[in-house]
Amino acid sequence: MSRTTFLKSLRKEAGRRGLDFRLDKKKGKGSHYLVCIGKRRATVPSHLSPRLERLIRKQLGLLD
């Protein structure tokens, strides 16, 4: 999955849960973005594997 598609899915999921979604392109190093959902945050690189996508969702509290 591309980073753009992944970020769209995170935004939708945060909206469904009633959580704030923030994306900061300036805080990440190089081609990394900082994503905040509620009070949790994670760094999203430009290249994502399915395992990394799952890890980021877990860091953001979107996996039960």
**What are the tens digits of pLDDT across the range 7-64?**
999 999 999 999 999 999 887 677 899 999 999 999 999 999 999 999 999 999 998 6
Enter the DSSP assignment of 27. T
Strands of 40-44's sheet in order across: 21-24, 33-37, 40-44
Kind and range of the H or E element at 15?
A: helix 3-17
For 31, half-sphere exposure in the C-beta direction (CA atoms, 13 angstrom radius) is 6
Q: Give the pLDDT confidence score for residue 31 in this predicted structure.
A: 87
Q: Give the pLDDT confidence score for residue 63 in this predicted structure.
A: 87
**pTM for the complete prediction?**
0.89
Q: Give the pLDDT confidence score for residue 61 in this predicted structure.
A: 95
Q: Give the pLDDT confidence score for residue 38 in this predicted structure.
A: 94
Q: Give the pLDDT confidence score for residue 1 in this predicted structure.
A: 84
List strand residue ranges (DSSP E) for 1-64, in order: 21-24, 33-37, 40-44
